[in-house]
Amino acid sequence: MTQLNQLQELMRTLRFVETSNHLTELIKQAEQNDHSYTRFLLDIMQYEQKRREEKQVEKRLKWATFPDYKTLEEFDIKEQQSLSKKQLNQLGDLTWIDQLYNLVLLGPPGVGKTHLAIGLGIKAIYEGYKVIFTSMGDLVHALKTEEITRKSKTSLKRMRDADLVIIDDLMFMAMDQQEANLFFHLINDLHDQTSIVLTSNKAPKEWGELLGDPAITTAILDRIVHRVEIIHLNGDSYRMKHRKNIFGQESVTN
Ligand code: ADP
Ligand code: MG
């Protein structure tokens, strides 16, 4: 076995897997640039660290199950008059996640609730947080099948282990008693250890009729509004304003 192979094998054993896969390039680079031993070792350590972080982000983005890749940078604040640049920056600095604040994003369809929620989630992942995105429909399904399917069990386990859980389109559907109960237990588990972002086209005072049971609704609301920032997004639907017309051009009406 050559020394190089021996080294690569050792590195894998010692869990320097990324460097081991890239070792020939790193050595070549050091030789070409006449790097000192110290510099060479530093490059190796930094390479391993950078690749581990990248892989962590990739994994977390996959686990988050975002329906789209929409960033905060793509969120045009000029299109959303009900949110100031300063507020957007405050949301984007993510300190509310450390403080275990919840966010409720309210507004009619098409105003950017889901986009904003995904954008915040993606930023959070890049900053090292664990994030899970779910629609209310998928969440209820997972809760009802948690004991039956492995997939539901895994996704709920990840959710309970996350720093931020985004629940999109709350109350898009009415829930029966059993569903409302399961939902309450999840919120209770998450409460005090996870930030929750909820999007909804109904104001919290209307949630009662959709959740059915007033006692459960109160219990859920108590936990969510304990530390909460409620953001009303208004204005015309971005989707409608920027819809493509039949000639394939964007029709920006205003
Ligand atoms: P909602 O969840 O409120 O129904 P979405 O977030 O799905 O709305 O937004 C609808 C579409 O409009 C998406 O493609 C989204 O990216 C886009 N959109 C909405 N608001 C903005 C905005 N302020 N800047 C950029 N794109 C926006
Ligand atoms: Mg939406």
- Beta carbons within 8 Å of 232's beta carbon, 6+ residues apart: 82, 106, 107
Give tens-digit pLDDT for 52-83.
Answer: 999 999 999 999 999 999 999 999 988 888 88
Buried/exposed code over 111-123 (b: 16+ C-beta within 10 A; e: otherwise)? bbbbbbbbbbbbb
Q: Is 110 close to ligand 1, i.e. is its CB under 6 Å away?
A: yes
pLDDT of residue 160: 96
Q: What are phi and psi of 131, to 5 degrees?
A: -130, 140
| pLDDT attached to residue 235 | 72
pLDDT per residue as tens digits for the range 82-129: 888 999 999 999 999 999 999 999 999 999 999 999 999 999 999 999
Instruction: Pick the residue whose CA is nearest to atom 5 on ligand 1.
Output: 112
Expressed in angstroms and rounded, the spacing between residue 201 Cα and the centre of ligand 2 is 9
Helix (H) / strand (E) containing 70: none
Q: How many angstroms is it from 106 CA to the middle of ligand 2?
A: 10
Atom in ligand 1 nearest the alpha carbon of residue 107: 3
pLDDT digits (tens, 9 = 90+) for 198-222: 999 988 888 877 777 888 888 888 8
For 77, the enclosing helix (H) or strand (E) is none
Task: Give the residue from 164, 98, 104, 173 showing the smallest Cα distance to 139.
Answer: 173
pLDDT band at 250 (very low <50, low <70, confident <90, very high): low
Q: Is the pLDDT of residue 249 over 70?
A: no
For the record, the structure tokens of 128 come out as: 């090292």
Rounded Cα–Cα distance for residues 99 and 145 (Å): 32
- Cβ of 105 below 6 Å from ligand 1: no
Closest ligand 1 atom, residue 201 Cα? 3
Burial of residue 75 (number of CB atoms within 10 Å: 0-12, 13-18, 19+): buried
Q: Would the CB of 119 count as within 6 Å of ligand 1?
A: no
Give the count of beta carbons closer than 10 Å to the beta carbon of residue 229. 14
Is 130 touching ligand 1 by the criterion CB < 6 Å?
A: no
Supply the pLDDT for residue 254. 44
Give the model's pLDDT for residue 253: 47
Reported as half-sphere exposure (CB side, CA atoms, 13 A), residue 47 has a value of 20
Give the C-alpha separation, 180 to 132, whole Å.
20
pLDDT band at 240 (very low <50, low <70, confident <90, very high): low
Structure tokens at 19: 């460097």
* Nearest atom (ligand 1) to Cα of 108: 3
Predicted structure pTM score: 0.88
Among 105, 202, 239, 254, say which to mutate for ligand 1: greatest number of ligand atoms within 8 Å of CB: 239
- For the record, the structure tokens of 165 come out as 């859980």
d(CA 217, CA 208): 5
Predicted local confidence at residue 217, as pLDDT: 86
Provide the greatest CA pair distance for the chain: 72
Q: Which of 26, 25, 24, 51 is nearest to 40 (CA)?
A: 26
204 within ligand 1 shell (Cβ under 6 A) = no
Helix, strand or coil, per DSSP, at residue 65: coil
CA–CA separation, 24 vs 8, rounded Å? 10
> H or E stretch including 94?
none
Given a cut of 60, whether residue 248 has pLDDT beyond it is: no
Q: Using 50, 70 and 90 to split pLDDT, how confident is the model at 242?
A: low
Residues 6+ apart with CB under 8 A from 34: none
Index of the ligand 1 atom closest to the CA of residue 115:
6
Average pLDDT, the chain: 91
- Higher pLDDT: 211 or 11? It is 11
Which atom of ligand 1 is the closest one to the Cα of 109? 4
Q: Give me the helix-helix angle, 150-160 and 177-190, nearest 10°.
A: 40
Is residue 223 within 8 Å of residue 104, measured between CB atoms? no
237 pLDDT higher than 90: no
